[in-house]
A and B are shown apart, each in its own frame.
Chain A
């Protein structure tokens, strides 16, 4: 699958797709199958409301609250639901604990499965052929593409999302954050650190 963005496509092809999508929306609306106002709401939900800040709140709470952390690793769907995040593409969530011995990384080699309620819609690279092909055979090489190098004795564990289980990586809490509030901790949590292709920011990155 071409991981190039639409602006890399030639202009006529782009116009053709645009026109075709518009034509289909008109047909489906005229037939009463879709309501354009519902389409607008769907788009607004994933453009404005649901995104990686949700996941960052989960991670920050897991760092700050040991009881929540225990509930999260026991039943992530329910613990994440406590914060109000649930539903489509997050019906069954499992939280993965990064430790000094094990680093977790999530991929969907067969399509683009991704935990929408906590991370939003996946970035283009996550759906692209380079990531889907190499994440399982060369995870350290993929991490290098993201500028991440882990100790050679850290096990890299890759989770291929082949079922409806969605995986959320809980990165290690950065040093020097003792006593921080959940809100402040959440600022350290990047989207990629919850996929496993990145690490959280360090306190000095916030200054």
Chain B
């Protein structure tokens, strides 16, 4: 979706302001919101792309006004409510008011290290062949789905070069609604001048990782 999360190339946000000796978290609630989000992935049954969509799928003004962990937390509430694991009256009451819905698994303390170490790899076996090879010229398609996508607006319609064939990976656009539908993934390089015209710096280049359905031969 063309939401506020897709920020590449926007103007007016001001300089980057690194914080010296920054702590990992800035408040106790950030720690809990972070850990709840990770821990609920298992009983909630959602994947990374579903979480990303829940975060970006909001009014741009609201997105821009929220802090990072506020967005995470709002998305967590959304996903819990969508799956009827929690209801509004329970959040207001601060207590369980309805019977728990059966879930497949929960994260136990004994599992934490193992689960984090295993991660969630997204590469999949395939018997299809990659259409493009390194050096091929491609154009990023001009797509504007209302749903989740990982093709940023600033590259759409632009010419790039395939730099690397990464492998066959879960396709975010469908995975956000639970269908992995793996596709070939490429690193595609765009010159600064191609992306930003005369306002671009010709000594810079940007690459994105793009799945095959995002690309057409050029």
Which residues of A are at the interface with B, using a C-beta cutoff of 8 A? 1-7, 9, 14, 17-28, 30-35, 37-43, 45-47, 51, 86-92, 109-112, 120-121, 123-125, 127-140, 142, 145-146, 152-165, 192, 197
Contact = CB atoms under 8 A, between A and B. Distances in A.
Contact of B73 (A17, A38, A111, A133): A17
A132 B14 CA distance: 11
- Classify the secondary structure of B's interface with A: mixed
A41 B13 CA distance: 36
Contacts of A47: 24-25, 31
A198 B118 CA distance: 30
Given A1-B4, A27-B91, A161-B209, A129 B77 contact: no
Contact of B64 (A9, A24, A127, A129): A129
Contacts of B65: 2
B57 interface: no
Contact of A39 (B32, B43, B151, B204): B32
Interface string B47-91: 010001001100000011111111101001100100001100011
B5 A86 contact: no
Contacts of B121: 91-92, 164
B83 to A, nearest CB: 11
- Classify the secondary structure of A's interface with B: mixed
A139 B190 CA distance: 14
Interface in B113-152: 113, 115-123, 150-152
Q: Which 8 A-B pairs have the closest CB atoms?
A: A163-B209, A109-B8, A23-B94, A31-B100, A30-B96, A39-B35, A87-B119, A133-B10
B24 A154 contact: no
